[in-house]
Amino acid sequence: MIHAEGPLLSVDVGARTATEVDVDDVLESYIGGRGVGTKLAHDRIPFDADPLGPDNCLVFAVGPLQTTIMSYTGRMSCTGLSPLTDGLLSSNAGGFMSRPFVDTGYSAVEITGESDELVGVHVTDDGVAFEPVPDLAEATVGETTEYVAAAHDLEESHTAVVGPAGENAVRYAAIITSGSRAFGRGGLGAALGAKDVKYLAVEGDSRPTVEGLDEELIREIHTEASESGSPMKDAGTVSVSDYANAVGALPTKYFQERSYDDVDDIGSAAVIEHKYEKGTCSSCAFACKLPTRDEDSGLETEGPEYETMMAFGSNALVDDFVDIMRSNDLCDRYGLDTISCGDAIAAYLASEAEFGNAELIHDLIEKIAYREGVGDTLAEGIDRVHDELGVDNWSMKGMEFAAHDGRTLNGQGLSFATSNRGADHMYAEMYQLEYPLVAPDRALEADGVAGKSERLVEMENKNAIHDSGVLCKFAFSNMTHDRYARLFDTDWETLQDVGARVVELERHFNNERGFDRADDEDLPYDLEGLGAELSNYYDLRGWNDDGTVPDDAIGGPDLASADD
């Protein structure tokens, strides 16, 4: 099976040490990216660790495809214990960092320990430098990347940065790479900020060679990405907004409604009107990103994507696209996940009857990042503060809900329930099957959850493979079971097994922290037949009916010690 190459570099920022660890057996079993990060984190983070403590570790990892020129591979993964969900979680980001990362020669870099001062961690193929950067305390993402460029002649594509939100332990703080791309969900920016790490910078000239890659298929996929006529190329994920609104799957007014009368003012047409050039990720010819500009104010940002449009638009009853652009830009500047931040602010707007107040929203984003005033409350996330605000708890396992409403798309609702990350639409992407965004022979009826577990298991496993590769989700139209098998030089059944083991490791770690069936059932709305279908899902995965993984199901290489 094709997999990433190179050792793990374990960096202890408290002890100021860096140790290379042979992880070939893990790479061979888990490919790279999320799979490798999950296995390493599962075995190396104590089950009772504090997400904001020194025992938590963050594993940045790439896969084998980042050594190629194939489209859809400008991504990498970060895995750790989430300050938002209190469970094991992987997030991945696009942009341009994955290629400089593989140039270091490492398949993964682990950040552990806790520094006694604010530092930057500079990883090269010659070693690691720890740079005290007290003057960057609470610096924005842009100010930090400017510093790294001046001090080390490295562009923002070489950096992963914590903004003020991460330093101030906002539970949904993001890690920002390439200036505006985010390891967004789950608050891993707060975990890195708690270690007093302001940035990770990478460079080198030691890119490994991955033997056995199917160069013909890689060229085919790259060509198809270039020639694709997908609407995603024009408006990114916002291209689904009109349809989601029409079928009643667009969360609106803090989830009180499911469609927005003013969607035309903030949806795909507004994106196309403000988009001023093509944007992309490293080596990708699909070019789906959204550099947008408001000519009147001069505001430039990247996006917003559909989820951000929901969180700061329909869910907050904001009908001005430029106001949403500004919210997106502020989140990038301060290092915040736009979904959780927007939802938390929408909860506050609901509590204060202030829907549509864009000026207040922009003020709240800054207050959250610096934990000032009510921002200190909202920085904790909806699950921890909904009672104080007097609103419904629109979160799942601690994570705020993405769009693609599960009350309309019931299989997506089921996938929110089973997701180890909580209310994250990308964990299984069942909404693709239910709108549908796939060919008719693969589509599912949106109503009901009965009988959908088999497809859900396959989708969760497939996405774990995707995230281990590491592949962008937009590659789905180019990928068949046969192509997956060719890319990774194995068969589809073996890949499904790899994906299943990744999901199972996440679940087992979270079980050890107290997660079980009750957490899967804790949706903020009723889905008829959910209990029976959860039992079916657990049975298909070989788990106990209480949602826990049998202890004898967990195996594989033991890497509990960084000194081995």
**pLDDT digits 0-9 by tens, 109-150:** 999 999 999 999 999 999 999 999 999 999 999 999 999 999
- For the chain, what is the domain count? 2
For the segment 64-87, the average pLDDT, to the nearest whole number, is 97
Which domain-ending residue is among 400, 422, 453?
400
Asked, for residue 91, whether it belongs to a domain, the answer is: yes
Cα–Cα distance measured from residue 398 to residue 344, given in angstroms and rounded to the nearest whole number: 12
The structure's pTM equals: 0.97
Asked, for residue 106, whether it belongs to a domain, the answer is: yes
* Cβ within 8 Å of residue 237, ≥6 positions away: 305, 306, 307
For the segment 160-188, the average pLDDT, to the nearest whole number, is 97
Of 390, 454, 459, 449, whose CA–CA distance to 424 is shortest? 459
Query: Are 243 and 191 within one domain?
Result: no
Establish whether the linkage from the previous residue to 304 is cis, with ω within 30° of 0. Answer: yes
Q: What is the pLDDT of residue 431?
A: 97
Query: Are 258 and 362 within one domain?
Result: yes
pLDDT surpassing 60 at residue 562 = no
Local confidence band at 555 (pLDDT 50, 70, 90 cut-offs): low
Overall size of the chain counted in residues: 564
Beta bridge partners of 537: none
Cα–Cα distance measured from residue 29 to residue 464, given in angstroms and rounded to the nearest whole number: 13
Computed from CA positions of residues 538, 543, 547, 549, in that sequence, does the dihedral angle turn out positive or negative? negative
For the segment 302-310, the average pLDDT, to the nearest whole number, is 96
Asked, for residue 466, whether it belongs to a domain, the answer is: no
Q: What is the pLDDT of residue 476?
A: 87
**pLDDT digits 0-9 by tens, 165-175:** 999 999 999 99
Query: Are 176 and 48 within one domain?
Result: yes
Asked, for residue 556, whether it belongs to a domain, the answer is: no
Residues of the domain holding 33: 8-203
Which domain-ending residue is among 373, 400, 427?
400
Cα–Cα distance measured from residue 45 to residue 5, given in angstroms and rounded to the nearest whole number: 23
Query: Are 196 and 254 within one domain?
Result: no
Cα–Cα distance measured from residue 402 to residue 405, given in angstroms and rounded to the nearest whole number: 8
Asked, for residue 138, whether it belongs to a domain, the answer is: yes
For residue 117, give both structure tokens: 């001062």
Q: What is the pLDDT of residue 77?
A: 98
Torsion of CA 42, 397, 499, 457, to 10 degrees: 150
CATH at residue 190: 3.60.9.10
Query: Are 58 and 144 within one domain?
Result: yes
pLDDT surpassing 60 at residue 560 = no
Asked, for residue 507, whether it belongs to a domain, the answer is: no
Q: What is the pLDDT of residue 563?
A: 40
Query: Are 174 and 234 within one domain?
Result: no
Q: What is the pLDDT of residue 556?
A: 52
Which domain-ending residue is among 400, 430, 448?
400
pLDDT surpassing 50 at residue 564 = no
For the segment 390-410, the average pLDDT, to the nearest whole number, is 98
> How far from the centroid of its chain's Cα atoms is residue 279's Cα?
19
Query: Are 42 and 171 within one domain?
Result: yes
pLDDT surpassing 70 at residue 411 = yes
Query: Are 131 and 36 within one domain?
Result: yes
Query: Are 119 and 175 within one domain?
Result: yes
CATH at residue 370: 1.10.569.10
Q: Which residue has the tokens 């967990």?
A: 554
Local confidence band at 553 (pLDDT 50, 70, 90 cut-offs): confident
Of 204, 41, 229, 230, whose CA–CA distance to 128 is shortest? 204
* Strand ranges of the sheet holding 88-93, from the earlier edge strand across to the other edge: 17-21, 8-12, 108-112, 58-61, 76-81, 88-93
Query: Are 46 and 188 within one domain?
Result: yes
Local confidence band at 557 (pLDDT 50, 70, 90 cut-offs): low
Asked, for residue 562, whether it belongs to a domain, the answer is: no
pLDDT surpassing 80 at residue 464 = yes
Query: Are 246 and 192 within one domain?
Result: no
Q: What is the pLDDT of residue 261?
A: 97
Query: Are 197 and 259 within one domain?
Result: no
Q: Which amino acid is at 564?
A: D
What is the DSSP code (8-state) at residue 258?
A: S
Asked, for residue 332, whether it belongs to a domain, the answer is: yes
Cα–Cα distance measured from residue 343 to residue 462, given in angstroms and rounded to the nearest whole number: 28
